[in-house]
Structure 1
Amino acid sequence: MTALPNRALLRLRLFVSWLKPRAGAAAAYGTSVTSAKVEVNGVHLHYLQTGEGEHAALLLPGMLGSGQSDFGPQLKNLNKQLFTVVAWDPRGYGHSIPPKRDFPVDFFERDAKDAVDLMKTLKFKTVSLLGWSDGGITALIAAAKYPSYINKLVIWGANACVTDEDEMIYHGIRDVSKWSEKARKPLEALYGYEYLAKTCENWVDGILQFKNLPDGNICQHLLPLIKCPTLIIHGEKDPLVPRFHPDFIHKHIKGSRLHLMPEGKHNLHLRFADEFNKLVEDFLQ
């Protein structure tokens, strides 16, 4: 890999700082969380479930993430009387292994179908989606393709296309051996070093497939199809997702709301969990 420009090096350092609290976010969220697996579309998907409210909400994790690693404060503190909260591990991530994670060009569409079919298998009549990063992309696609099933949509840290600037960021995180030990070790404990390293490389190759499409399109064409109430949250100090991404999504989802968090980074739902949870609860009610 060629030497990274100063700006890309800065983004890599910020990314590593983001990983630390994220990977350790499996905070003790109490014994009221159920952990289970269910067969969906030929694979056994792992999920965590808590709460007893009528409003079902599915939490969709980011790249290499799982429900446990990515949503500790939400599983612990989202209102359990108002909501039934489910946090899933997409196939090949977390405890939804096997199968190994792969990245065909339709992997986001596959995850969207898996997510919806999981909630249908669990007998939820409708669901709201809370998607972070890659999970946000998956949630956008699910809301567009399964409109009658999606109640409301919250996304943060998501993008609908891959640009030259994004490509530079992704190359900067490709080699996990260049991550700090504090950033790498928790995910290494979950996956083992070999699986972690190979999956991260494969993810970069997978996401960069979209660079070969017109305008780097991932799901831009689907945004006008989203009809449910949509909240887009963006941390203005996010080192991984430039501001033009949430602006584009906001512009192309009719009636959507964009909420900016001035001090938020990519993991804003973890660093500012109380503020985030209140924002989401108020929106979903």
Structure 2
Amino acid sequence: MIGRTDVEEAARRIEGRIRRTPLVEAAPGLWFKLEYLQHAGSFKTRGMMNRILAAQERGELPAAGIVVASGGNAGLAAAYAARELGIPVEVFVPVTAPPVKVAKLGKLGARVVQVGNEYAEAYEAARSVENALFCHAYDDPDMVAGNGTIGLEISGESDRVLVAVGGGGLLAGVIAALKGRAEIVAVEPENSRAFHEALKNEGPTDVTVGGVAADSLGARRAGDIAFELATGAGIATTLVTDEEIVEARRRLWDEYRIVVEHGTAAAYAAYRPEGNRQTVVLLCGANTNPADLG
């Protein structure tokens, strides 16, 4: 099982290659971790950089480079990391991926393949590629450990951390870093609830996905690592509606001039003040079209 030692090792490995993003007090008792300011616009750059560097250390990185399936953000992280490290990258995304993400993938130098309507279909296509190193978007120990470095940057500053969940790669990393140090709240959209169903069924199972946050939180199946760590830590899930997500995203813009994805806003949608408790909301991605914020 992945623990804090693995996260600390990842932090040493990726130091100088990722941004230590700001942690700011938005209101009394409410803090925002501004991870949307990370390279390539999301937390996934931490995990992807660690995945590639760890593979290099082990002699597992082929000349053909890496391949990844993504709803958008994992692909952007892979493209950025591959460009910085000078290796080839191929990214499979569904045809429903937001154009803003697809365009940015091209700018970062990735070869982009669009296939299927959901992440799961892009995943199956990516897995069929030979010779390249497949980098799972969320269910990989090195990815999880890299993602968990966010937790090290807020350790000791919070009583409670709100984390948006798709496949669970960020949640797993935060648990590995902060288990026993803060309450961790997993937040999912009602229409994309793979982690919730995994807990209910005592193991990851396939679910249907949809809703406004499906491009970033639309994993059809929760990761085994996230499920194992969450059940070991007694983590439950909180569900939010599409309407709550849209409103939270709008409030982040209206009140703080913060522009994030719907998936990112899901974490804020679950925020409720709790006395004197200090709550950190992880604002994990900003690869979105702000035109509808008006």
TM-score normalised according to structure 2 size: 0.37
RCO comparison, higher one (Cα < 8 Å, 6+): 2
TM-score normalised according to structure 1 size: 0.38
